[in-house]
A and B are shown apart, each in its own frame.
Chain A
């Protein structure tokens, strides 16, 4: 129905987004306004209209998340398979599309085991408490010019608060499993997140300083008004947030919390059946919600230059979300896992100083913008050039001066200089091959 409707509308009215017809789902507010109008006509009190519209928005978001959590299992496995020269699931249905359904049915049939010594309530609540924050984040994310469930004044802080609650649920899972490896996983998560909270917040501070608001819709409108994606103004903040949040997501470059090869799956070792399924789904949901945050903050959300006059905002938004999600899958498919000391050093020695430098620079820029009184048309290109150069210089400088030297054959562990390590035969790969592969 919606597709036909889209085709029937002539080009002229496509530029004028809100036609007012309820079936014009290019803008969901058409539908909600229709419902408002009918409810008012039927004499519903004001508060019930709030409740009903909130419920509709929540249902829509949960439906989206449910669909995404199922489809992304397939997306992730296929894409990672492609990157690793494998096929990925390709048996069930066209292109293996029914594989997630089969996985879900299998998980639901499995018995949910619980360790006899586990405190039952905490053990049961942990996967639920882990899933909820990832869904709750979507409440403040705008889907279109008029489509946002809760336009909070402190939307960004709300997102940070929600993601900090997930830590505690991971700890609940690891502790209540009453298992050595689960506890290791939980402790690793906490040590990691205590470190990574700082670059995340300091990185986002640059965005907030530029936009002058913590409301996500306000940040999108700032990007629209100034005709520039935030990633151009704040490339360093984007990189810092991307790396730091992929650590917080427990995805492979930083998945020390559930490293299968070291601690058997970490905090969800003891979970089985649908309780494990919830952890698995929550991981995907968190990845999507973080992609949505990045798409909103750095890539303009539902706005894309003139494109949002032709294509509905929520389609642009979902496209951007999947673009960012692809970046996450890419890092997962290609990068090896950090060791825990490397991961913490990365947060404290690289991301945090860079984020602090970024905040200082952004504060100076915003001050110059406000005090000079010159227009955005002059300042925005200047900021794009300055911040791009700064990002390149900082990353190059940090790599040049602070990174450990690359050794093809490391002769001694870096952190314990006083141990003698037997030296390897001094043969490079090229020499090895030149000898015809004989040592």
Chain B
């Protein structure tokens, strides 16, 4: 296990390097001169030159790239160009709001989806199954912005059930402000998840051993709960685990539109402002989480399914 982990971590270095390269190249083209941004409307050429020197923007690109790699190693990304805030503080301040939305929404979605998935795959082919599947398809076919805009307009404004947008750091405030975005999140993702878990469960039902069990005359519920459920835990748990690290990133659109000051909205702002230090930090963080998630998945695989061996 240990050897496996070390190998995987070493193996992910090229990916992190690749991410750094892609981000650096793309956002240097996209650019927008940060010095011009910082100097404001009454700029002078002298001031621009001063800022470029101060931030090392006058150095050759490969030196800047090298500095970026150094930042990744030390995990020190400095300060945002746009807000002048320390990036580590921005991230720390953003994780809380992001998680307060993501964790409950994710839990409810997962529990709902797994439960519905279980029910409908048990009754596969029956009316309830087909109706649910249809409902899911309808649900995922509605554009996400439709949910957001109609949700705000009807539930928050017309019916006055929730605040329209915003965030409050107190616990009651969090609940108050996050219910609506959480509902939208759940509506947006539960359809996909139900379909996913249903497929995973049906996948299992069509295995040979189920046929054997049936032939042996075992009762349907027994086959389903004892065997099918146990074996289909692998894809289910994998899916869940794989999503967990990404929760920290929050939901870009939801956070932006509901005014939640989380990681997602920080990232969107940074892209709009060409705030390179923040973008670099976010891209690095995501790729690390992604890689971490992948490794976790493999580890979990061995834990839930003894048939899988780590190489």
Q: Is the A/B pair a real complex? A: no
Which B residues are closer than 8 A to A by beta carbons?
none
